[in-house]
Chains A and B, each alone.
Chain A
């Protein structure tokens, strides 16, 4: 099945052999693989054709940099071009000079419009606005009720007139109300429709003419195939879109549709939807989507998540401790809690190139419950014990086990693995020597980790680390992702953990 593009390119260049300069043939052979990767990511055929032509021009005659392999060099060019097409700058929402600003969400049935009306409302309220949501989809059974419910759940005002009124009138009345109550923006849910549905498209045109929205955002499913282009083209032709919301990005679709839409209609991608929860709406970063389209994981998001949680100072302090071998259980507990704040473990691992795929293939499930056990054990220790685990004797162990509701065996395991980890860290410290202060994730994630060193160099670092054949990060720990963290228990296979959504 799908192999990482990097592996395939590496193969290509191994066949060709290393040369100082990329020839036309080398490039063409490599670009065939790139083309295939893009098509498999659902980038539109026509778009791929133009894209490859552009990359080819840039790639031919490039000197092979000493630090890079030809494969990496081609990917780097492709990646840069992808980012360029996806839009290198983030484009914020446009606000009307006369409030309220009207934002229209349009799109095919089932792309996620109603959900995203609520998400956008929630997001903008977080920025200090007071949005009004408008239920103008009177056709789909219970669509109005759905928006009402979402409004109730998240305390966002919703305007609706049931299903008998005309959508244009509903929107007009909503804007009047917003003006009176000083609500801004007005976010309008519209009926899902096929781009070839003449009557429905006319209805949208009428709404547009009547209320002059500042933003008309196309809500598009990340899983859409080649059709994305004709859908976007038609909506754009009729309504002049101002932007795009790419939804269902929490799945494993590579999201090539975004590239297609972006290059065909040229409107910026403004948000991506990453889950069913109301807060699962994120700003769009072109580098990340480029990486994802190429099938290289979402390391950048992971790095950012980590950086959000861990202050520079803290990470330097920890790094110092790791390198000098004075890292103790107290620091360990701190780290655990920080990682936990980044979100469920499985979700974090999914972002690593190759790991997500491997996890699914091997049916490995990492339980967040394991965290709890470890946390409980450490919390049952005295501060003295945490700082000097060596003093923990038999009776202390028994007390800790009882206090944490675990077994002596579990306590023993944690302690012995922690000791092992300390040893590895000490070696690492010896190797690193002085002058390797880089901050970022090194301190957080300890030795043998594929993320180590990634904090300081985006894609270049990614390519250095994640591109070993097989698409897996290096190190013996790759097979059992849990072992990658400074965590004393090995990953359990297929451990079930039931959790309710939310």
Chain B
């Protein structure tokens, strides 16, 4: 595995996050454990699993596909023990996410060429906060970071990013509210070159994927970026709220079409949301999930790891199971 374990960041492990998350998830851990505490694998087990997975926002199709795989495996391998079936389900869930994770491109950070991350998403998913966390993450790796306030539309979005910039001690390139986002991005690109910045994080206005003009605007922003660095943006990060339901799939599809999404960040995983839409997206689109946001602190960002994700959200540790 090339990246770090899910809830342990490379630079400074924070077991606190894990503990906090655990607490909010005791319920589902117990539910799942209880499901498999039966003497045999029967239809009722599958029905109960279906209910559970759908309630975790995996969606009907993904749930049925997952359970199909499980049934086949139980039959093929002659599994009789429910505890073994539990392991099989866990494996299937991990496998589904891993397939998409393999599509993740290796990030190449070059000296002298800014690594550009364009952050996109619908309104209110946590783009700006994710940017702050990403900035901190790169800073911890010893890279220089600059932010671009590309959300010139929402009231005070620029101020919000500037507050983060100040807290983190990173420069923020901004124009006046209502300015053309393409122009801000242009300035940001130029500034990143001039100052020899390693990482350029571009914030964009939240937009519903059904708004044609706004999706076109993203294409324009991409073109502006490419004028400076043809291979940029090296990362187009779609931020999805962990509480999102089946619409998350449509979001992922539409943003990929318009902006060429390369990675997905699941934000707000610190609640009781199961983030099941990640499975649906991985299955349908194969877009890799790369980051998860797990709290309100600027350090609450982790690289994504399928196994840890599945365990942390569904199965818990053995003691809990």
Contact = CB atoms under 8 A, between A and B. Distances in A.
Interface stretch (B85-93, B96-104, B120-128): B120-128
Interface string B260-271: 000000001011
Contacts of A42: 57, 245-247
Given A225-B246, A226-B245, A149 B155 contact: yes
B74 to A, nearest CB: 23
A282 interface: no
Contacts of B9: none
B164 interface: yes
B208 to A, nearest CB: 4
B60 A40 contact: yes
A57 interface: no
Nearest to A249: B208
B106 to A, nearest CB: 31
Interface in A241-268: 248, 250-254, 256-257
A225 B126 contact: no
Given A194-B271, A226-B55, A227-B274, 8 more contacts: A110-B241, A141-B128, A248-B122, A248-B123, A254-B247, A346-B212, A360-B254, A498-B213
A226 B54 contact: yes
Interface in B107-126: 122-126
Contacts of B164: 141
Contacts of A224: 243-245
A225 B24 contact: no
Interface in B233-284: 241, 243-248, 250-251, 254, 268, 270-274, 276-277
Contacts of B248: 223, 225
Contacts of A496: 216
A497 interface: yes
A265 to B, nearest CB: 16
Nearest to B126: A110
A111 interface: yes
B272 to A, nearest CB: 6
Interface string B28-72: 000000000000000000000001001111011000000000000
Contacts of B213: 497-499, 501
Contacts of A365: 212
Interface in A144-161: 145-150, 153
Interface string A24-52: 00000000000010011110111000000
Contacts of A36: 60
A301 to B, nearest CB: 15
Contact of A225 (B157, B214, B245): B245
A112 B160 CA distance: 16
Given A227-B57, A498-B216, A109 B126 contact: yes
B252 to A, nearest CB: 12
Given A109-B126, A251-B210, A145 B245 contact: no
B167 to A, nearest CB: 8
A253 B162 CA distance: 32
B243 A44 contact: no
A147 B162 CA distance: 17
Interface in B1-48: 24
Interface of B: 24, 51, 54-57, 59-60, 122-126, 128, 153-157, 159-160, 162-164, 177, 208-214, 216, 241, 243-248, 250-251, 254, 268, 270-274, 276-277
Nearest to A145: B156
Contact of A223 (B51, B159, B245, B272): B245
A346 B211 CA distance: 10
A140 interface: yes
Nearest to A192: B124
Given A42-B247, A223-B244, A251-B247, A350 B126 contact: no
A223 B270 CA distance: 18
Nearest to A498: B213
B123 A110 contact: yes
A341 to B, nearest CB: 20
A253 B248 CA distance: 9
16 contacts: A41-B246, A44-B55, A110-B126, A112-B124, A143-B160, A145-B160, A146-B160, A148-B156, A194-B268, A223-B244, A225-B246, A225-B273, A226-B55, A226-B276, A256-B245, A360-B210
A-B pairs, 3 with minimum CB distance: A225-B245, A110-B124, A42-B245
Q: Which of B155, B162, B214 has the most CB of A within 10 A?
A: B155
Nearest to A151: B155
B57 A226 contact: yes
B134 to A, nearest CB: 16
Given A42-B246, A112-B124, A250 B210 contact: yes
A253 B243 contact: no
Q: Report, as a range, how many residues of chain A touch the other chain.
A: 35 or more
Interface in A171-223: 194-196, 221, 223
B120 to A, nearest CB: 15
A143 B156 CA distance: 7
Contacts of B156: 142-143, 145-146, 148-149
Given A41-B246, A45-B51, A360-B210, A221 B124 contact: yes
Contacts of B210: 250-252, 350, 360
A225 B250 contact: no
B59 A248 contact: no
A153 B155 contact: yes
A32 to B, nearest CB: 11
A240 interface: no
A143 B128 CA distance: 12
B163 A142 contact: yes
A108 interface: yes
B59 to A, nearest CB: 7
A276 B159 CA distance: 19
A146 B245 contact: no
A348 to B, nearest CB: 14
Nearest to A140: B160
Contact of B247 (A111, A227, A252): A252
Contacts of B126: 109-110
A196 B24 contact: yes
Contacts of B244: 223-225
Q: Which of A111, A225, A248 has the most CB of B within 10 A?
A: A225
A320 B245 CA distance: 48
A251 B208 contact: yes
Interface in A93-143: 108-112, 140-143
Contacts of B247: 42, 223, 251-254
A40 B59 contact: yes
A142 B123 contact: no
Interface in A471-502: 496-499, 501
A40 B57 CA distance: 10
B107 to A, nearest CB: 27
Interface in A339-372: 346, 350, 360, 365
Nearest to A251: B208
A76 interface: no
Q: Which of B24, B211, B243, B270 has the most CB of A within 10 A?
A: B243
A228 B273 CA distance: 9
A427 interface: no
Contacts of A112: 123-124
Q: Which of A42, A109, A230 has the most CB of B within 10 A?
A: A109
A224 B248 CA distance: 9
